[in-house]
């Protein structure tokens, strides 16, 4: 067993929450790299940067994640409360941190997302 940074002992077992967390973060980083590369290809091909950029994709993904987690309770008419609840739900594990403060303005308003078409589809085409 080894130790990495401040996450404590490393148990290589797949059922270990620290291992699962690290793998999920690595997958997230890989997805961000993939989105950035697509945006770069679009820019190189003469794209104007609208709609194909990492900041917008990250914002949208955070909104989709909040919805997928069921963090946006309320009616569609209650837009402000829905968005606040979704955003706070995403940052609740470290709500007072600078990371949470930086993330709050990035979350795409869940009330603005098209309604989902089913459990495996967001109804959204980027």
pLDDT score, position 48: 65
Can you point out the beta strands (E) in the chain?
2-3, 9-10
For residues 79 and 94, membership in a common domain is answered with: yes
Predicted local distance difference test score (pLDDT) of residue 81: 83
Based on the domain organization, do 38 and 88 belong to the same domain? no
- What is the number of domains present in the chain? 2
How much is the pLDDT for 49?
Answer: 55
User: Is residue 41 domain-shared with residue 72, that is, in the same domain?
Assistant: no
pTM greater than the 0.85 cutoff:
no
Backbone angles phi, psi at 2, to 5 degrees: -115, 180
Task: Identify the DSSP state of 87.
Answer: H
Asked if residue 77 and residue 63 are part of one domain, the reply reads yes
In the prediction, which pLDDT does 44 show? Answer: 79
The answer to whether residue 93 scores a pLDDT higher than 50 is yes
Q: Which domain holds residue 105?
A: 53-126
**CA dist., res. 52 & res. 25, Å (int):** 23
Q: What's the pLDDT tens digit per position in 34-52?
A: 999 999 998 877 766 566 8
């Amino acid at each position: 067993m080894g130790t990495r940074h401040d996450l404590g002992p490393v148990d290589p077992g797949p059922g270990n929450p620290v291992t699962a967390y690290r793998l999920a973060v690595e997958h997230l980083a890989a997805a961000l790299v993939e989105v950035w590369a697509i945006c770069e290809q679009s820019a190189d091909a003469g794209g104007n940067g609208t709609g194909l950029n990492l900041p917008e994709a990250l914002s949208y993904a955070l909104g989709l994640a909040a919805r997928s987690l069921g963090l946006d309770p309320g009616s569609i008419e209650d837009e402000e409360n829905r968005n606040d609840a979704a955003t706070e739900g995403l940052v609740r594990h470290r709500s007072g941190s600078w990371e949470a403060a930086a993330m709050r303005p990035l979350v795409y308003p869940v009330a603005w997302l098209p309604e989902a078409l089913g459990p495996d589809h967001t109804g959204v085409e980027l």
